[in-house]
Amino acid sequence: MSSAVHISLNVSDLPRSTDFYRRFLGEPKKLKSDYAKFVALEPRIHLALQPGRITGTGPLSHLGIRVDSSDRVREWKNDLQGRGLATEEEKRESCCYALQDKFWVTDPDGNRWEVYTVLEDLETEAGVASACCEPGAEAESSCC
């Protein structure tokens, strides 16, 4: 068996979150009244959802999927928009010591996902480091 990333998220509304991730990652591999598991092959990721208490913002900044080109970023964005997900696009943004093309989607509990490609590594940071990749930061300045 090959390696894969497993992420488990507490969600405030399992049916609503399951709908979001169904459109983001495809059909769940396992679906119960109190659990949903998605297994995506590209990229290889295992995502589990279970009802839990959501309190404020935790230490999670965001989640991301790095793809190999700007064309793939556009393909992902167009595909997800076709599935009814709202996206926030950023082109040629400089943040986290890299020039990137990307877009963001946000799940029902506020977890932000970026789908991005690195166009070029940078020696200096153009964005505000303390705000980089925080929800809403990309609207205020260049970010991740």
Q: Are strands 63-66 and 112-121 parallel, antiparallel or unpaired?
A: parallel
**pLDDT at res. 133:** 53
- What's the whole-number mean pLDDT along residues 15-19? 97
**pLDDT at res. 135:** 43
For the chain, domain boundaries: 5-51, 63-140
pLDDT digits (tens, 9 = 90+) for 60-85: 778 999 999 999 999 999 999 999 99
Q: Is 114 exposed, middle or buried (0-12, 13-18, 19+ CB in 10 A)?
A: buried
Structure-model confidence comparison of residues 140 and 117, the more confident one: 117
In the beta sheet, which residues pair with residue 51? 11
- The DSSP annotation for 15-69 comes to HHHHHHHHHHH-S-SEEETTEEEEEEETTEEEEEEEE----S--S---EEEE-S-
Q: Which fold has domain 63-140?
A: 2,3-Dihydroxybiphenyl 1,2-Dioxygenase; domain 1 (3.10.180)
The CATH-assigned architecture of domain 5-51 is: Roll (3.10)
- Averaged confidence pLDDT in the chain: 83
